[in-house]
Chains A and B, each alone.
Chain A
Amino acid sequence: MNSYNEQKHRFDPSQPGSLGLTQPLGQMQRGSTGRILAVSGSAGDRNIERGLLEMGFVEGACIEVLHHGFLGQDPLAVRINQTMTIALRRCEANAVLVGPLHDAAVDTKPGMTLEYASS
């Protein structure tokens, strides 16, 4: 677990993601982190939702916004559970609702996401 401590995220209170707010992934600042609360698609077409789930965006996963595109615009590069980096546009990213990393309700969840709780 040492490696994770080295990687520890410093939480800046100015970042909404660490303040306890929930917001769509597409509106998150570069460098901010959070935990996925919900992945939803439009009611009629669930393909975006399936696509996001297949790329690893699932409830409970930890994400970090690593990069923005040119002039801070599309696309975003998002790291999921510190293993996989996915590029996607804000439009799809907005189907992912992200909450704070530290959330007692979810932190009890075991598995890969444990390291975030301990950091």
Chain B
Amino acid sequence: MGRSKFILGGLFILAAVVYLIFSSTQSSAEYFLTVDEIKAKGDTVIDKSLRLSGAVIGDSIQYDPQTLTLTFEVAHVPGDNAEIEAQGGLAEVLRAAAADLTRQRITVVYVGPKPDLLRSEAQAIMTGHLGTDGIFYAEELLLKCPTKYEEAVPEQASGN
């Protein structure tokens, strides 16, 4: 009696935690996709929660402060880290992606304050969903600037 009720209680907790983890994972999973992958999958990923990364095209940034609607395009960058390294690091990949007109691009719409770091060749990491109109509606927008990376230091130094 003594031992078995503890084991039963433990199993119950374990089952509850496993259930919590799996149900929560399913309901809040976000799929990492590149621009190419989104274009290729098209309609099949509509309504799914997606996480998209791309290089910001500076000329395409439009901001309407009345409605706080931000529109810009991002160009495809590889999702695989080894691939990014092989192409000369993130800063280099972002620069190439923004300059290459043949790369696939996708339009992003975001409503909210314009982030301080949004500029050409920044890496945008967005969470949101793909609309039926082919526009990516971002709910969350995170930006990283290649110039902030330590690897870019010597070049900057020589530029001074």
Do these two chains really belong together in a complex? no
State the B residues within 8 Å of A (CB): none
